[in-house]
Structure 1
Amino acid sequence: MALSIVSNLLQVLVVLLFAPLAKGVLNRLKERFQSRRGPPLLQPYYDLWKLFHKDTVVSEHSSWVFRITPYLAFMAPLVVTLLIPVLTAYPLFMAFMADMVGAGFILALSGFFASAAAIDTGNPYGAMGASRTRMVGILVEPIFMMIFFAVSFTADSTIPYIVQQKWMTSIAAFFAPSHLLVIIAFVMIILAETGKIPVDNPSGDFELAMIDEAKNLEYSGRGAALMHWAGSMKLLVLMCVLLNVLVTPWGLATRKDITSVLLAIPLVGLKILVLIFILALIETSLSKLRLFRIPEFLGAAFVTVFVALIVHVFSL
């Protein structure tokens, strides 16, 4: 029990401390692919340090929703970290408290509060970004459910630790068409949920074109730092779900000792680095879609996972 608690704390610390680094590596790679020098790898840490040392300005028209949202958004990825395999292939003491549907609900709840907080201040740009974010969320949630259905049909469970043990039993299972299609759909969902190109451009600063970043316009100081940190952790958590649950448990600790858990940190980091390289390549190879084209992109993700379900049913 003590080792399980320590392992869970290590998972939380890894997501908490290395999420800004993952964002910095992604931003640096995107600039390199475009033949630019790019920001330092540690730039997200500098930005967080600067924001935490700035004063917080709160609109007089805002309510308690605006004030508590940064803390809810910050805690949601950390709670999900306790439910998914980040460093260990064996279940920890909170592994069975919720499945993938519950983890998705926690992230969706923080997204709802973020949209409500953007509307709460009365800023028209915040409301515009919140409405666009909800539009994307409404289209993304059915795809999430279809992915969970596909996973449950294959692994007879939606508990992440059970999925990685039952689904990834052989090379043939990994290269099954239904499995590969689910992975493609989940990558498309990561791009949409984290505000990446082609759905959104996180580096853009034009208010009328913002989607995900428009929700954070009214935050300053500690609130802005928590919102940006939460976005980085959400990206890292989704990458861990994709890599450790849907792709391969390689690199995760299989022995119940602290040395194996610590050794899993650089191995899992190597997998994440490969995925970051792929995401950076996708973002630099595509252009941002117009707003009315985003449903087409998410519709393609829905069709992909639907075909995965059909292929799996016929393969039985």
Structure 2
Amino acid sequence: MKGSFWLAWRQQRMMVGIGATVLATAAAIAVYYRSGMLDELRSGQFDHCAPGPLHCMRPDTVLPLLLDVEPLRYLGALNMALPVLIGVFWGAPLLGRDLELGMHRVVLAQGVSRGQWFASRFALAAATTVTLSGLLAGVFAWWWRPAANRSYGLFWYENTALSGSGPRVVAAALFGLAAGTLLGLLARRVLAAMGLTLLVTGTMTLLLEWTHRTRLLVPPHTYTSAGSIPKPAMGEKWSAGHYGLITASGRRDDVMNCPFPSGAQLRECMDRHGYVARFYEANPVGDYWTFQWTDTAVLGGLAVLLTVVTAVLLHRRRI
């Protein structure tokens, strides 16, 4: 196994080096911008800002007071793109290049089994992927913490935070690697495998973003208030965009049936239509981890499944 691992390292050391460079660059940028963020917060100009989604205004103007979190969003976007990048540029050539060039025959002729050939390459790639993605997610979390869920920062439900942080980043990166490796085995041509991997990983990334927006996998909670009293504050919740009124029988109607924010007009309208309460649907801040572990289970499960399929095909197919 030492020989096959040594060969795997020789073939993948450039990708390992690129990953280390990306991580070091991201960490350096995070240190620089986070330091500036902390200096702004310590200046006292944000002390009057209340928590919640409403913009905090400058005392002397009507302009919102915001931290510079764009670089943080770029890191989140990079983390979201990891399954595509790793799948296309690392997973697809992992077996596909040897199969396309016929190098696998030379390796197997040296007494290395198919299992060893696959295990040595995939183990090194997977270990590096876990390390890189985990550290990038950690850098994001560290950088994000001072500005998390503040009107002048970044809320947990923004896609670069929800999908660009946490354990789902690691699971997504492993899914990209596993998908690219399997498609490289099936296509036996690197360029074809890269194109297919781009399609599969890109589609999966967009599909999970769609499930977030529609709350397909993590349903929102319903918050109600009796009569016309103010609804519970939205605060750090992620609104599902569903607001309405409830009758005594429990029927839910659209909020536009009584389009008044409060006061006598609202009470009169509710009494006229028989409404006894108001409601809205939203995901509380604690659902951040529900989204995280749901995505991690889906992507991690797919990564394991695709890896097993690759191993079975290598064992049964002639290559």
Q: Compute the TM-score of the two structures, normalised by the length of structure 2.
A: 0.29
Which structure's residues are more often helix, by fraction?
1
Higher strand share: 2
